[in-house]
A and B are shown apart, each in its own frame.
Chain A
Amino acid sequence: MTAATSIDAPLVVKDLKVYYHTRRGPVKAVDGVSFELNRGERLGLVGESGSGKSTIALALMMAHKEPARIEGGSIMLNGSNLLDDNEERVRLRRLSEIAMVPQGALNSLNPVMRIRDQVIDGLKDHNVRMGIGEFNGRVTELLASVGLHPDVASRYPHELSGGMKQRVSIAIAISMNPSVIVADEPTSALDVVVQKQVVQTLRDVQERIGAAAIMIGHDMGLMAQFASRIGIMYGGKIVELGPVSHIFNNPKHPYTRLLISSLPDTRGKRRLEGIPGLPPSLLRPPPGCVFHTRCPEAMDVCMQDIPVNRELDERRFAACHLYGDADGREVAA
C-alpha cells in the first residue's frame, strides 16, 4: 500500500502541537503528532494520564480552551485544514464531518430535554430542514441503529441507564453521517457487560456508515477489541503506531513492550511488572528521547537527540534510536 490519498483518508494530522500556557512556561501536551486515518479504519490512541491523548481529542474537535493553544501543524479533515476555518465554519463541520462520543463518566446530555429534542436540535443547528414527521422518523431510525427502542425518544436522560445514555450519545454522533468519529474514553465508569455492548455498538455503526473512528483511552483490552490500528502515546508524542496485531504481538518501542508485558490477563498467574519510574514533566521534558529516563535500553544518543519517527514496515512507525539507519527510512514530519 502506498501513502493514502486524501480521498481514502478523511483525517490527516501533521505535526500537531498543542501547548498549555502556564505561568511557568508552556506545557507541551501534544508535541509534534502525525497520523492519518483511512475510511472505515479504527485507530486507538493509548496513553497514560498526561500523555496528551485527551488533548488531541479536544484539538480534533477544535474544542480546546485557553490556556491550551494549537501552536503548529495541520488537521486536514476531508482535504481541508480545520485550523484555517473560522469559528462558524468549525461549528458547522462538527457533527457533520467530525463528531464526538463523550466520556462515559460525563453526563453530556441535557438533563431537561427529551432525547428526541436533543437529537433534532443538533440537526437543526446544522441547517437540516425537514418536516417534524421526517425528523421523528430520523430519530427512530438513529435510535434503532444503536439498539434502542423508539420509546427512548420521549424520555429524559435521568430515565436512562448509563449504557443507554452512551448509546444515545452515539446516535447523536452519527446523526449527520460524519466521516470521522472521535470517542474519548466512551465507556469509562460503565460496567463490563455494558462496556462491551457500547463498544460493539460503536463499532457496528462506524462500519455501517463507513466512518473512520478514533478511540482514546488507556485500556489496552478495549483497544485490542476495537481498534484496527493503535498509536501509543508517551509524553505528548506518538512513540509507536501500527496495526493492532503488530502492537500486541511484536511491539518495537521499549515503552510499548513494557506496556504490553504489564497487562494482566486470565491465562495463568504471573508476576506483574509495571514500568518503573514516572512519566516526564511536560513543562520541562528531559533532553533527547522523552522516554529515556525510564527506558531499560537507553543509550547515550537517547539522552541527547530526539528520535525521529521511522517507518519500519508498511504503515508501521516507531520513534526510537534502536531503529536507526539500517532498519527504516526516516519519515518527514
Chain B
Amino acid sequence: MTTQTMDSPASETAQDVLLRADSVSKTFVSGTFRKHYTQALDTVTFSVPESPPTITAIAGESGSGKTTLARTVLGLIEPTSGEVVYRGVDVAEMNRAQRAQFRREVQVIFQDPFESYNPFYKVDHVLRTPIRRYNLASSRSESDDIVEAALRNVGLRPEETLGRHPHQLSGGQRQRVMVARAVMLQPKIIVADEPVSMVDASLRATILETLRAMKRDLGISILYITHDLTTAYQIADNIIVLYKGRVAESGSVESVINDPTHPYTQLLVSSIPQPDPETQWGREQEVRDEDEIALTGCNFYDRCPVRMDECTDEDPPLYRTAENRITRCYRYADSPVHHAPDLRSVFVDATSE
C-alpha cells in the first residue's frame, strides 16, 4: 500500500489516516442549451483516523452538500477537483483488490431504504449476499445465525422479517435491515446518511445506541450525515456544518451546538423543536432577502441577520475562535485565521464511553 505524501497537520501522520477527503469540490452541470452550474461542494477537507474510532456529524439543510459529500467519500460521485484517499490510495484510482477492500470496509446506510432495495428480492437476499461474497460463514446454519443475530441487534424479529419482500416491511423496518447488514460486515467506517429520519421515536434511540455501540465495541468510525442537530449532538464527537457546499462552522459537537457562532448555525439551533413545552421557539423571523444575494463574498449574506458591508467583499476565511472551533464569519475577524485545511485539526478526541 502506498503511503501518501501530503501536507498534513503536524498532529497526525499519514499512517494513522484511514480516510481523507482532500479539498473535495463538486460542481453539477445541468441544462442542455444553457448550462447551469451548481457548486454542491466547495473545497472540503477532513479525515478519519485509523484509531480511535470517531463519530463525525456532517450537518446542514437540503442543498448544503452533505449528501454530495457522503457520496463522494463513498466513491459514488467523482469530485470535480480534489480527491478521496482511503488507506493511502485515491479511491478513483484503486485496483481491483483495493476496491474490494474499500467496498467492504466502508459501508453505507442510506436515507431512503427504498432506493437501496431491489423490490424483487426478499429481505433474506439482502442479508445473505454479503455473507456469501465475503465468506463470513462456513455453513448455512452459521449464516442463519449471523443473519438472525444482526436482525435482533436492531430490534427486528427474524421470524417476522425473513421471507418477506421489501414492500411488506415498514420504512423503519427496512431501514433497520440496512443497519443490520452494515453491522454484519464489521466495516471500519460507516457512512450513515440520515439513518433515523424515517424511524419512529422509540426505535430512533435504539438505532442511535446501536451506532454508538459500533464505535465503542467494534471500533467502527461513523460519518453521520444529518439535518437533525439533536441526534447529531447525542452521538457525534465532532460536527461539520455545511452551507451551500461550504464549511460554515466546525468543531466539537458540544461547543458548536450549545454555543453556535456562525449565524447559520445559530439559525439551525434556534429552529430545533425542543421536546420540552417550557422551551418554546423564539419568535425571531428569518431574514431572506432575495435581492441581496451576494455574487461575491459570504454565501449566507442574503439570509444573514447580522450581515455587514464587508461581507460582500470576499469569502470569509475560517477563523479559529477556540481550540476546538472554527467559523466562517467576519464577526470573528479578531480570531486568528485557521490555515490547516483538515478540519480534524480542530476536532476533539473521541469520547470513550
Contacts and interface: CB of A to CB of B under 8 A. Distances in A.
Contact of B206 (A195, A196, A197, A274): A274
Contacts of A248: 275-277
Contacts of A298: none
Contact of A269 (B201, B234, B276): B234
A224 B229 contact: no
Given A272-B205, A274-B206, A278-B155, A192 B276 contact: no
Tell which of A192, A199, A269, A277 has the most Cβ of chain B within 10 Å: A192
B155 to A, nearest CB: 7
A164 to B, nearest CB: 11
Interface residues of B, number: 47
Interface stretch (B3-11, B278-286, B305-313): B278-286
Interface residues of A, number: 40
Contact of B230 (A50, A265, A275): A265
B273 A224 contact: yes
A56 B274 CA distance: 26
Given A49-B172, A193-B61, A225-B274, A274 B230 contact: no
Contact of B227 (A48, A192, A197, A199): A192
Given A192-B272, A225-B280, A266-B233, A274 B203 contact: yes
Contacts of B231: 264
Contacts, number: 126
Nearest to A224: B277
B268 interface: yes
A244 interface: yes
Contacts of B351: 269
B273 A221 contact: yes
Contacts of A274: 155, 202-207, 209
A48 B201 contact: yes
A90 interface: no
Contact of A264 (B156, B172, B234): B234
12 contacts: A193-B268, A195-B273, A197-B286, A224-B273, A224-B275, A263-B205, A264-B234, A265-B274, A266-B257, A266-B272, A270-B234, A273-B209
Interface of B: 61-62, 155-157, 160, 170-172, 200-209, 212, 227-231, 233-234, 254, 257-258, 267-269, 271-281, 283, 286, 351
Interface of A: 48-50, 191-193, 195-197, 199-200, 218-225, 244-245, 248, 258-260, 262-266, 269-278
